[in-house]
Structure formats: C-alpha cells, structure tokens
C-alpha cells in the first residue's frame, strides 16, 4: 500500500528524520509512535507533501508504484483526498468557523469531482451518518455549534468523503478527553473494518496502541529504533527506548462502553460553545 525507503527530512540546521524505512499494508492499522520531537509527524507530513519549503526530503515514498517525492505539487494535490486523507490533532483548523459544515463538505467534493448538487449532498449526509453524528443537523450547523468530539468526528467525515485508501491520523485524539478519545479511536477502527481502508496512526500514547494497532514502529529523534507486530513489540520490547516508553505510561481510565450509539448523545445547539467531548 505505502512503502517508505530511506526517507530523510532535514532543515539547514538539523536532520529531523534519518533514513526511515517502513511499509503500511492494505487494510491494516499501523502505529508510528514516539515522544514529541521524534519525527513521526514530519514523516506524516512528508507523505502528503505538506512540509514547508525550507524543509528538504530525500528517499522514496512509494504509493502504487509512484515515488510521491518525485511528483509535482499538482499531482500530489490530486492524491490528497482522493486516495490519501488526513485527520489532524487540530480538528478546529479543519473547518472555516463561519461556514456551515455542509457547505464545506460540499466544496471539498466540488473541488475533487463532477458530482451534481443532489449527489454531493447525499454523500455528505452519508459520511456524517457513518461517523455517528445527527447528520441533517450537523450538515446545517456551523463549527462553533459543535462540541470537540463532534467536530473531530466531522473532520473524520471530511477525510472519508472521497473514499480514500489510506487515512493518516496525526495525533487525532490528543485534544480530547479520555472517553471521547476512546470513542473516536473505536469509530476509526469500525470504519476501517467496514471499508478496508489502511490507517497510519501517529501517536505518542502507547496505552491505546495495544488495543487498535496491528503493527507498530517506534521512533526516537528521527530514527526508527524498533518495529514489528504490536503485541510482540509491546510484550517483548527489544530496544531500551521502547522499554522506557512502556515503563512511563500511566494506566488507562476505566474502559468506555464497547458499543457506541447510532448517533452521538451530544446535542447540536446554536448556543453550545466548543468543548473537549
């Protein structure tokens, strides 16, 4: 699905990612883990060509036989959304504050295809329902009328809108409370099961990796230190850095209910301000 060979990302002052090698298989959930500054988010940005011009990249990021690093900016943009989509930590930044959610989803579809207006709305409603939001109300709502959990789910809907094959989730739950974070990860896992999409999950939280990821790669200061099946790495870590990460993690809060309601229990009201949940 996605193969990274010898990826090096650097600025004039430092090397941020050094010779990274990894691959994401079709339909799998792959966790790229490490502390802040390990280079994992820079790796995610390099895939989509989202790095600033002051940063240089070398190596191969292969997608369906093409090296993404060799594509033009226009060719890269055509892949984003259509085949590769992102969910970011800053879910508020995914939407313009004073345009309705439906209008923004509709604009995304118009920019990437030739659907008529009715087909676009039907697809928008479908993906909002898939992420377990009250679809008609959220379609008509402004971002500031949604809670943090709802807005993150709306961002997931936007990422799924064009039926991509790879979803890159860059710390998607960091700004959410524990229960809402659990629900968002559970939602992504259900969508992966239903659609067969691959997930590249950028995370610093090994507590959830055991539950959701099929495989894991651990990075430290730009270098890959350990990779393998999740249970093998977490139960029998070979590298001292991985062992130190595992020793430092706090226990999880009590498990959230295993089953999510069809729609969010949260209400969408004009008076409601943003919150983390």
- Confidence category of residue 251, pLDDT binned at 50, 70, 90: low
Dmax over Cα atoms in the chain, in whole Å? 56
- Contact present, 2 and 68 (Cβ < 8 Å): no
Report which of residues 113 and 212 the model is more confident about.
212
Say what the pLDDT of residue 253 is: 52
CA distances from 182 to 5, 95, 176, 196, 264 (A): 32, 23, 9, 21, 14
CA count, 13 A, side-chain hemisphere, 271: 0
Whether pLDDT at 267 is above 60 = no
Region of poorest pLDDT, from 112-116, 125-129, 222-226, 230-234? 112-116
Report which of residues 128 and 77 the model is more confident about.
128
Helices (H), 25-163: 40-48, 73-79, 101-112, 117-130, 135-140, 148-160
Query: Cβ atoms within 10 A of the Cβ of 211, count?
Result: 13
Nearest to 217, CA basis, from 69, 29, 10, 42: 29
Residue 226 pairs with which residues in a beta bridge?
Answer: 218
Average of per-residue pLDDT across 200-206: 92
CATH topology of domain 2-248: Rossmann fold (3.40.50)
Domain-by-domain residue ranges, the chain?
A: 2-248
Report which of residues 270 and 98 the model is more confident about.
98
Whether pLDDT at 57 is above 60 = yes
d(CA 277, CA 10): 37
Whether pLDDT at 75 is above 70 = yes
Say what the pLDDT of residue 252 is: 52
Say what the pLDDT of residue 276 is: 39
pLDDT in tens, 220-234: 999 999 999 999 999
Predicted TM-score (pTM) of this structure: 0.86
């Amino acid at each position: 699905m996605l193969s990274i060979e010898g990826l090096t990302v650097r600025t004039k002052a430092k090397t941020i990612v050094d010779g990274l090698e990894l691959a994401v298989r079709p339909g799998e959930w792959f966790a790229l883990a490490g502390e802040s500054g390990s280079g994992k988010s820079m790796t995610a940005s390099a895939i989509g060509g989202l790095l600033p011009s002051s940063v240089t990249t070398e190596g191969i990021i292969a997608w369906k036989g093409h090296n993404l690093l060799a594509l033009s900016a226009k060719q890269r943009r055509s892949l984003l959304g259509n085949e590769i989509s992102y969910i970011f930590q800053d879910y508020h930044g995914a939407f313009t504050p004073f345009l309705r959610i439906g209008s923004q989803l509709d604009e995304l579809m118009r920019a990437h295809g030739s659907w008529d207006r009715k087909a676009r709305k039907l697809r928008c409603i479908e993906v909002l329902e898939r992420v377990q939001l009250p679809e008609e109300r959220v379609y008509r709502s402004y971002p500031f009328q949604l809670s943090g959990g709802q807005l993150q789910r709306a961002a997931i809907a936007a990422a799924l809108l064009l039926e991509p094959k790879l979803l890159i989730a860059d710390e998607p739950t960091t700004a959410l409370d524990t229960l809402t974070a659990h629900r968002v990860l559970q939602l992504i896992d259900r969508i992966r099961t239903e659609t067969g999409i691959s997930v590249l999950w950028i995370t610093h939280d090994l507590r959830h990796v055991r539950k959701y990821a099929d495989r894991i790669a651990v990075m430290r200061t730009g270098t890959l230190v350990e990779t393998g099946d999740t249970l093998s790495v977490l139960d029998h870590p070979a590298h001292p850095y991985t062992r130190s990460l595992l020793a430092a993690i706090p226990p999880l809060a009590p498990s959230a209910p295993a089953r999510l309601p069809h729609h969010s229990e949260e209400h969408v009201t004009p008076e409601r301000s943003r919150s983390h949940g």
